[in-house]
Structure 1
């Protein structure tokens, strides 16, 4: 009986050993599963890190794009400033051109018994001067009621002077060129009374230039023909 009991105990011990082995195997399996889970976790972490790196790269690219955009904006602003400066220069040039485009000539013709004043506008196109229009004409005869009479008197001088000065004032014609024609004995007296004294009194008028055209008589003489051998 003791032997049997021993056998029985041995069988029980073997069973317990087998159970222990099974438990160990289960533990090992669980460990392997845990290791697998850890590996998966590591893989996920690596993927997350990769995603973060990609995000960082994208952010860097975005920053670079923003810098490029800012650079282009600065260039655009700089170009706009240049364009504005060019426009201002063009406007200044246009103003200068406009100042030179039109100019006024006071054409004064002295006759034997009358004085004629014609206000003429010329236009400058590049280096060429072209006639535009006659703005107004005045004469001493406008104040005389009789034909074929001497119209040169103090009263007619005053009337002529006031007429053309008021016309210049009303039309804002400040800068003019003066052109005189003919040389008569009363020219100095007429010039003093009609032009110089009013200009001195009314200092609004600026004479840019004074030209005096004196026509000389031509007797029809011409050079002899040259003969060539």
Structure 2
């Protein structure tokens, strides 16, 4: 299998514009993420795909592989799909540009899903973390996932799922981490299929895959990582880096 990592990198993030070019230990966040992904040695290629000339120039200047998006996109899957449409690859791993602390073991587990799936029954793999804090479970910014007994996703929601009508039942809650590995065909199907109502209502792109019958294998990890969504996150990341 040919496996590549794609790092979608949008400059104008709504909560923290320009965050990917902010300084993290002497280099921009996107550069740290790119170099950390390359250093895992898990991929045949690592490519940043961006809508920003600033980010494009930064990655090119360090000798990295970068592509410019040809048109605007609503989500990372669309941006990646456009970039890989004409590439000869089997599996594409989406690494978030704002997660410079790339966690190797979790990425290995995602890739292993496809190495073991010889019957090609799985279309995507993604990460989840067990959570117990009630505020986090109820927080609509924390995306929850419910799974079947084979760890295949049944649904994703911003609401607490499952709803604990019987509080005596020992229910486990899982937070979805937005790191994906796709079979290329699943990604292309997503790109060419229209948004349906569940995705539109929850504003969660992964629901499009479920609405069209794709199977998403969830892999549990205990590593939360550091997503840089705010200036406070960046400050915390710099402390960790030191």
Q: Would the TM-score normalized by the shorter structure come out above 0.5?
A: no
The structure whose RCO (Cα within 8 Å, separation 6+) is larger is 2
Q: Which has the larger Rg?
A: 1
TM-score w.r.t. the length of structure 2 is 0.24
TM-score w.r.t. the length of structure 1 is 0.25
